[in-house]
Amino acid sequence: MITIHGMADSGNCYKPRLLMALLGRPFRHAEVSWRDGGTASKAFRQKTPIGKIPLLETGDGRFLPESNAILCHLGEGTRFVPDDAFERARMLAWMFFEQYSHEPNVAVRRSLLCYPEMADVATPERLASTLRGGNSALEVMEERLAGHDWLVGDAPSLADIALYAYTHVADEGGFDLAAFAGIRGWLARVTALDGYRPRDWLPGA
């Protein structure tokens, strides 16, 4: 059985848990957090030198970091990966967008506001910058979702899982989704998927 090492409160760590729930696949969760120094421990760094979570541990002892790489591995051959090569590339484009444009603003601003450990770097300038960048990323999503149910094609894909993780808690970062009707409808469709579990769900809990 695989183990997903991660922090229960992290959106990046929620992504693979959500996918596994949607697929109905068993896995173990091992809590590791940067907040208590767990990701910097010698034992964890032996598993992954970059010291980042989530970290996938396979049943045969291999390790895979990076949330979207984990999604691609776990999603291989499932209904969440389009059959068409170009549609798969479009899915990946949204996943790259998530890590390059969305997460550094929406997720980071949430962290700045929610975690006391980050208070010293939550400067007014950084909060303003991430607010602007986050709203720009949400506008890109809204442009697609105002006229489509899903980010790629006519069915949910890994791109929807990747972007759902932090978008559905964007309000915790001070983002107002009232003006993003397309996004709000999409969020409701994700939560209606068979097997959906919320962020605080852990296997066996």
100 Ramachandran zone, left/alpha/beta (phi>0; psi -120 to 50):
alpha
The whole-angstrom separation of Cα 19 and Cα 26 is 11
Q: Mean pLDDT of all residues in the chain?
A: 96
CA distance 62 to 59: 7
CB atoms within 10 A of CB 32: 24
Please choose, from the candidates 85, 66, 77, 79, the residue with its C-alpha nearest in 3D space to the C-alpha of residue 162. Answer: 66
Tens digits of per-residue pLDDT, 79-124? 999 999 999 999 999 999 999 999 999 999 999 999 999 999 999 9
Domain boundaries, the chain: 3-75, 85-191
Question: What are the tens digits of pLDDT across the range 13-33?
Answer: 999 999 999 999 999 999 999
Q: Which residues are CB-contacts of 11 (< 8 A; sequence separation ≥ 6)?
A: 103, 107, 110, 165, 166, 169, 199
- In the predicted model, is pLDDT for residue 205 greater than 80? no
Cβ-proximal residues to 141 (8 Å cutoff; 6+ apart), any chain: 102, 151, 163, 167, 180, 182, 183, 186
What would the two tokens of residue 55 be? Answer: 């970290």
The single residue listed with the structure tokens 């959106």 is 11
For the record, the structure tokens of 201 come out as 């769900």
Give the pTM.
0.95
Give domain 3-75's CATH superfamily. Answer: Glutaredoxin (3.40.30.10)
pLDDT at residue 35 greater than cutoff 90: no
Cis peptide before 54 (omega within 30 of 0): yes
Q: In CATH, which of 3.40.50.300, 3.30.2350.10, 1.20.1050.10, 2.120.10.30 is domain 85-191? A: 1.20.1050.10
Same fold, 3-75 and 85-191: no
Q: In the structure, what pLDDT confidence band is assigned to residue 138 with cuts at 50, 70 and 90?
A: very high
Q: Decide if pLDDT at 154 tops 90.
A: yes
d(CA 45, CA 36): 15
